[in-house]
Amino acid sequence: DMPLASNLVLSAGIASSKTDGAKRVTGYSVGAAYLLSKRTTVYGGYYADNGDAPATIESRLGFGIKHTF
């Protein structure tokens, strides 16, 4: 996590795993969280990995809003 401003945080990550008899899968992610107020945050992220099949890239995109009561 890297704060870019008092209300904006950028996150990044990398993970790798290998199970017996399978190829190594490596995933990369990036996300951001923006504080709209003291109790409300908007966030989003993107994840991609090299998948199980050759020459395949699997990816996911997500976003949301969180409000604490």
User: In the block, which residue shows the tokens 């395949």?
Assistant: 56
pLDDT band at 24, cuts 50/70/90? Answer: confident
Are 25 and 52 in contact, with CB atoms under 8 Å apart? yes
Q: What is the mean pLDDT of the chain?
A: 91
Residue recorded with tokens 């945080």: 9
- The pLDDT tens digits for 4-20 are 999 999 999 999 988 88
Report CA-CA distances (Å) from 50 to 22, 31, 46, 66. Answer: 13, 19, 14, 30
User: How confident is residue 54, by pLDDT bands cut at 50, 70 and 90?
Assistant: low
pTM of the predicted protein model: 0.77
Question: How is residue 39 written in tokens?
Answer: 């109790």
- What mean pLDDT is predicted for residues 29-48? 96
Q: In the chain, what percentage of residues exceed pLDDT 70?
A: 96
- What is the token pair recorded at 34? 């923006």
